[in-house]
Chains A and B, each alone.
Chain A
Amino acid sequence: MTNNSTTDQSSLPLGEMSEGQRGNLHNYILGIADNSLILGQRLGELCGHGPSLETDIAGTNISLDLFGQVRSYFQYAAQVSGDDTVTEDTLAFMRIEREYKNVLLVEQPNTDFGYTIVRQFLFDAYHLLFLRELEKSTDETLSAIAKKSIKEVSYHWRFSSDWIRRLGDGTSESHERVQEAVTDLWMYTDELFHQTEADQAMIAEGIGVDTSKLKDIYYKMISDVLEEATLEIPVGKYFHKGGKQGIHSEHMGYILSDMQYMQRTFPNMEW
């Protein structure tokens, strides 16, 4: 994968970027990657505990795809940082909670299969729309990662939206359970479109995705499936955000103490 290019439409080679530009690009990449990292971690917790062997395998598959994407993003972010001590693993395991930039949605717990699927569904729709735009980025590395990820995330979306239909239009119990999860997790959807400073700087450079343009189509995309699944579309006007600025829910500390356990207990070792 290359990240340097001299064509007119492409972003500056790393060596020609100012420190501020590099910093923004670095933060921008982490903002994308951390969503996949934390969602992948949450799905990984479920491996071996799914409602059926088939769903277990599918959930693990999605987790694997997300971690694969994380590695590509972090390897690139490490390169952008210009600091030799930064690696994919220091980025994954050695930051403090306030430095993680994932949205609140992905850190929500695996309350039951309904919550797990709704969390996935609400994220997948955004993720797919986002990657389709990121593929057009002037940054060739990000564009290449997006291109590869689109194939995977199209499958994630198909999997989660199919399950929304099954659970919504299945039994009365499944309908109630999945409706509750939709209603509860809805308040985390707006944050997906919240733009940080790094986001805005990257949009201006032609590297980042202008997520404000994706919002309407996102809500239409998920509403169509919810309707088909005979579920009510929540009318809640109150939303939560903060994850992108590193202000997370109380769940995040526990995710990190689990995820960082080895690196914190045995620092500076290779595994």
Chain B
Amino acid sequence: MSEKEVKNLEEIFEARIARDEKIEPKDWMPEKYRKTHIRQISQHAHSEIVGMLPEGNWISRAPSLRRKVALLAKVQDEAGHGLYLYSACETLGISRNELYEQLHSGKAKYSSIFNYPTVTWADMGAIGWLVDGAAIINQVPLCSTSYGPYARAMVRVCKEESFHQRQGFEIMLKLANGTPEQKEMAQDALNRWWWPSLMMLGPTDAESVHTEQSMKWKLKRKTNDELRQQFIDQTVPQADLLGLTIPDPDLKWNEETGHYDFGNINWDEFWQVVKGHGPCNKERMNARVGAWKRGAWVRDAAMAYAEKKEARKKVSKAS
């Protein structure tokens, strides 16, 4: 294809996105669009899968049968989200095995928040309320992103995420209205998860390398800082309702801007965790890589069995 032809195709492509048309797997797309989408969708899928681990940590110790069932179902939903996001990603011409390989080698990233430990039951509430809350803010705009398979996967993901967030808030509410020990457990969880949740919305706009292009392709509708402000504005009244204190002495309502002002985020901590040196980076990777390695013989057996079955079918057809 000549340079002129490519340029022509690119123009048609950008015009389609500007008209809010969906791009489908078989449509022509610029290589950069394909790569950016593989990066973002797979990062999202990996986050779902690694995100199963901190919550899975409390399944065996959930304090009631009702909570145990709800937690199991939630972690299972995350596996389901992983599944459709990997499938959406595969439509861009990459296999699930290649994507796993990128996760296991450390080439692909996942949300840093999952590198923090879940040390009490209240963390199940805080993750649902704050982490899923921040995730929804990030993800709702993606329901109308330009790449069709991703947008459609996100519609379902978002529905389930908002259910998870309510469930998390309800765990916090029960604790906040419980005994002094329970209330303390809830406050402690908020103290530990608040700042990582703010970091989860990504580096400040000045530091964010992908924002501009992603805005153009509707992979992003608002900047990280705008999303963070939205999250804070939405969450502060919820903390008030719980009777819990957000661990930020600088947090206060600003009449003029109509938003909450907040204190400085410790970006050194953020980059430390992103670069692989958070409290649980090593454990999370060991768990994923370990499960994959331990499961190799099982996957091999399934393949071998399927091949044998296929061969038998052919033999019986031929005879």
B-binding residues in A (CB < 8 A): 41, 44-45, 47-57, 60-61, 63-64, 67-68, 70-71, 74, 88-89, 92-93, 112-113, 165-167, 169-171, 173-174, 177, 258-259, 261-263, 266, 269-271
Total interface residues in chain B, CB < 8 Å: 49
Please, which residue of chain A has its CB at the minimum distance from the CB of B298?
A: A51
**B163 → chain A, closest Cβ, in Å?**
15
Check if A262 sits within 8 Å of B121, measured CB to CB.
yes
What residues of chain B lie closer than 8 Å to A261, measured between beta carbons? 61
Expressed in whole angstroms, the Cα–Cα distance for A193 and B9 within the complex equals 71
What residues of chain A lie closer than 8 Å to B294, measured between beta carbons? 51, 112-113
The 10 A-B residue pairs with the shortest CB-CB distance in the complex, in nearest-first order: A51-B295, A170-B301, A174-B301, A262-B63, A48-B56, A48-B52, A51-B298, A271-B63, A166-B305, A60-B76
Of B68, B174, B298, B303, the residue contacting A113 (CB under 8 A) is B298
- Most interface-central of A56, A74, A173 (chain B CB within 10 A): A56
Query: Please, could you name 27 A-B residue pairs with CB atoms under 8 Å apart, sorted by A?
Result: A44-B68, A48-B49, A49-B290, A50-B295, A51-B291, A51-B298, A53-B49, A57-B80, A61-B76, A64-B69, A64-B72, A64-B73, A68-B69, A71-B65, A71-B69, A112-B294, A113-B294, A166-B302, A170-B305, A174-B297, A174-B300, A262-B61, A262-B63, A266-B181, A269-B178, A271-B63, A271-B171
Check if B56 sits within 8 Å of A266, measured CB to CB.
no
**B132 → chain A, closest Cβ, in Å?**
17
With contact pairs A53-B49, A57-B83, A270-B174 given, residues A173 and B297 touching in the complex (Cβ less than 8 Å):
yes
Check if A53 sits within 8 Å of B82, measured CB to CB.
yes
Contact with A along B147-184 (1 / 0, CB 8 A): 00000000000000000000000010011001101100
Please, which residue of chain A has its CB at the minimum distance from the CB of B96?
A: A53
Check if A50 sits within 8 Å of B304, measured CB to CB.
no
Check if B79 sits within 8 Å of A67, measured CB to CB.
no
Contact with A along B53-77 (1 / 0, CB 8 A): 1001001111111111100110110
- Most interface-central of B63, B67, B294, B296 (chain A CB within 10 A): B63
Check if A271 sits within 8 Å of B83, measured CB to CB.
no
**B319 → chain A, closest Cβ, in Å?**
20
**B313 → chain A, closest Cβ, in Å?**
14
Contacts A52-B299, A258-B60 known; list 16 others, CB within 8 Å: A48-B53, A55-B298, A57-B83, A60-B72, A63-B72, A74-B65, A170-B302, A170-B305, A171-B301, A173-B301, A174-B304, A259-B60, A261-B61, A270-B178, A271-B63, A271-B67
What residues of chain A lie closer than 8 Å to B59, measured between beta carbons? 44-45, 47
What residues of chain B lie closer than 8 Å to A53, measured between beta carbons? 49, 79, 82-83, 86
Does B287 touch A at the CB level, under 8 Å? yes
What residues of chain A lie closer than 8 Å to B83, measured between beta carbons? 53-54, 57
- Most interface-central of A44, A47, A92 (chain B CB within 10 A): A47
Check if A259 sits within 8 Å of B61, measured CB to CB.
yes
What residues of chain B lie closer than 8 Å to A56, measured between beta carbons? 79
Contact with A along B179-199 (1 / 0, CB 8 A): 101100000000000000000
Check if B300 sits within 8 Å of A171, measured CB to CB.
yes
Does B216 touch A at the CB level, under 8 Å? no
Of A60, A88, A89, the residue contacting B79 (CB under 8 A) is A60
Check if B65 sits within 8 Å of A92, measured CB to CB.
yes
What residues of chain A lie closer than 8 Å to B121, measured between beta carbons? 262, 271
- Most interface-central of B56, B86, B300 (chain A CB within 10 A): B56
With contact pairs A47-B59, A47-B75, A262-B62 given, residues A174 and B174 touching in the complex (Cβ less than 8 Å):
no
What residues of chain A lie closer than 8 Å to B290, measured between beta carbons? 49
Does B7 touch A at the CB level, under 8 Å? no
Check if A166 sits within 8 Å of B301, measured CB to CB.
yes
With contact pairs A57-B76, A67-B68 given, residues A49 and B291 touching in the complex (Cβ less than 8 Å):
yes
Expressed in whole angstroms, the Cα–Cα distance for A68 and B66 within the complex equals 9
Does B277 touch A at the CB level, under 8 Å? no
- Most interface-central of B73, B179, B301 (chain A CB within 10 A): B301
Does B308 touch A at the CB level, under 8 Å? yes
Check if B61 sits within 8 Å of A49, measured CB to CB.
no
What residues of chain B lie closer than 8 Å to A52, measured between beta carbons? 295, 298-299
What residues of chain A lie closer than 8 Å to B80, measured between beta carbons? 57
What residues of chain A lie closer than 8 Å to B295, measured between beta carbons? 50-52, 55, 113
Check if A67 sits within 8 Å of B182, measured CB to CB.
no
What residues of chain B lie closer than 8 Å to A70, measured between beta carbons? 65
With contact pairs A51-B291, A51-B299 given, residues A258 and B68 touching in the complex (Cβ less than 8 Å):
no
Check if B65 sits within 8 Å of A88, measured CB to CB.
yes
**B256 → chain A, closest Cβ, in Å?**
42
**A231 → chain B, closest Cβ, in Å?**
13
Expressed in whole angstroms, the Cα–Cα distance for A145 and B315 within the complex equals 45
What residues of chain B lie closer than 8 Å to A54, measured between beta carbons? 83
Please, which residue of chain B has its CB at the minimum distance from the CB of A61?
A: B76
Please, which residue of chain A has its CB at the minimum distance from the CB of B78?
A: A48
With contact pairs A53-B83, A170-B301 given, residues A48 and B287 touching in the complex (Cβ less than 8 Å):
yes
**A77 → chain B, closest Cβ, in Å?**
13
With contact pairs A49-B287, A169-B305, A270-B178 given, residues A263 and B69 touching in the complex (Cβ less than 8 Å):
no
Check if B75 sits within 8 Å of A165, measured CB to CB.
no
What residues of chain B lie closer than 8 Å to A266, measured between beta carbons? 63, 179, 181-182
Expressed in whole angstroms, the Cα–Cα distance for A41 and B65 within the complex equals 11
- Most interface-central of B72, B178, B290 (chain A CB within 10 A): B72
